[in-house]
């Protein structure tokens, strides 16, 4: 992917034994979470909160996804996860709807709840 197609809020696809090749969507800044689980692979939570807000702008996430989908559809699933708790993003429902309008790939949300 060249610089003009760079995406900032997507990662992967990463292999998963459960769901195949998963394209990740990261809706949160690093380690913003409602828990501070000792077993979290990302380490200690830096902002423990229950506040739901638009941590990463909806338009940025969708723009990244649109750019990515123009050059690559070689994945099995789209997964909301990443750097923090995805359900703290107050537009998670709208994001899921937007993803489903753009692709027929199944959607998963990895959450602590």
The total number of structural domains that make up the chain: 1
Give CA–CA dist 34/18, Å, rounded: 25
pTM of the predicted model as reported, rounded to 2 decimal places = 0.89
**Segments forming the whole domain that contains residue 93:** 3-109
Burial (0-12, 13-18, 19+ Cβ within 10 Å), 84 = buried
Q: What percent of the chain has pLDDT over 90?
A: 81
Mean pLDDT on 79-104:
96
pLDDT in tens, 72-89: 999 999 999 989 999 999
pLDDT confidence of residue 1: 47
User: Tokens for 84?
Assistant: 């923090």
Residue 5 pLDDT class (50, 70, 90 cuts): low
Which helix (H) or strand (E) element contains residue 80?
strand 77-81
Kindly tell me if the per-residue pLDDT of 20 is higher than 90.
yes
Chain-centroid distance of CA 88 in Å reads 12
Degrees to nearest 5, angle at CA 97 with 82 and 86: 25
């Amino acid at each position: 992917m060249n610089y003009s197609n760079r995406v900032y809020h997507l990662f992967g696809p990463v292999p998963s034994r459960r769901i195949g090749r998963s394209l990740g969507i990261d809706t949160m800044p690093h380690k913003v979470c409602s828990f501070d689980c000792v077993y979290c692979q990302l380490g200690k939570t830096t902002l423990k909160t229950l506040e739901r807000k638009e941590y990463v702008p909806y338009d940025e996430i969708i723009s990244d996804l649109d750019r990515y989908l123009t050059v690559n559809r070689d994945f099995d699933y789209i997964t909301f996860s990443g750097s923090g708790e995805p359900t703290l993003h107050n537009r998670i429902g709208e994001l899921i709807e937007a993803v489903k309008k753009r692709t027929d790939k199944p959607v998963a949300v990895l959450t602590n709840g």
